[in-house]
Amino acid sequence: MNIILLGPPGAGKGTQARFLVEEHGMVQLSTGDMLRAAKESGTKMGDIVADVMARGALVTDDIVIGLIREQLNTVKANGFIFDGFPRTLAQADALTNLLAVEGEMLDAVIEMEVDDEALVARITARSTCGDCGEVYNDNTKPQPADGKCSNCGASDFRRRADDNEDSLRTRLMEYYKKTSPLIGYYYAKGMLTKINGLGEIDEVKAAIDKALS
């Protein structure tokens, strides 16, 4: 099964993708993670995207489509979870074509609905374990007092450079202008399921499992 988790920044796409990876052996393809890795590796592409990402704008379709193409060419999986991709209609069309080349198709699109106020609160309180990706929230799931990740024991907590109010405002604007049209696009294809992304993590997880079963 190949699915898209669609939703604004902070909707919980990464958190839920991790559950699907753990429980269903699917492979998460997060263009945000790929771009952050490129940024840290100091490649030419990393330098190009660093400034765009820091501002919260979208990097070009060509770059992210290229990243996804490379993954689909090389990784074999029991289903892909597209997290943060597609973000534009051009990316959505490209994904359909890339999957067709691999003899695959898209099975479902889960739209995670969360209101803006909750998004700002979530994102400005967010940190992750740099080692395993476990997500923490200063209010609802603080980093353990012993300074060690509860999942893997590492002590490398990170906050994203673009998790600040200025860049978040741009990221939200980009979402509404360029990504939210995908909701209508996939609805028209009969692929869209909306779920409430505001609940507890377990409730959201249950809603996604139900939508996929």
For ligand AMP, the binding residues (CB under 6 A) are 9, 31-32, 35, 52-53, 56-59, 64, 84-85, 87, 91, 162, 171
- Work out how close the CB of 10 gets to ligand AMP at its nearest, in angstroms, rounded to a whole number: 8
- Work out how close the CB of 166 gets to ligand AMP at its nearest, in angstroms, rounded to a whole number: 12
Which residues fall within 8 angstroms of residue 182, CB to CB, at 6 or more apart? 6, 86, 87, 88, 89, 92, 109
Residue of 13, 36, 39, 205 marked active site: 13
Q: What residue type is assigned to position 21 of the chain?
A: V
Residue of 39, 87, 178, 205 marked active site: 87
Nearest to 175 by CA among 95, 115, 109: 115
- Work out how close the CB of 121 gets to ligand AMP at its nearest, in angstroms, rounded to a whole number: 16
CB closer to ligand AMP, 66 vs 153: 66
Is 18 noted as a catalytic residue in this protein?
A: no
Is 69 noted as a catalytic residue in this protein?
A: no
CB closer to ligand AMP, 55 vs 148: 55
CB closer to ligand AMP, 51 vs 210: 51
Is 169 noted as a catalytic residue in this protein?
A: no
Residue of 55, 69, 160, 194 marked active site: 160
Is 126 noted as a catalytic residue in this protein?
A: yes
CB closer to ligand AMP, 60 vs 196: 60
Residue of 122, 171, 178, 205 marked active site: 171
- Work out how close the CB of 213 gets to ligand AMP at its nearest, in angstroms, rounded to a whole number: 26
Residues involved in catalysis: 13, 87, 126, 160, 171
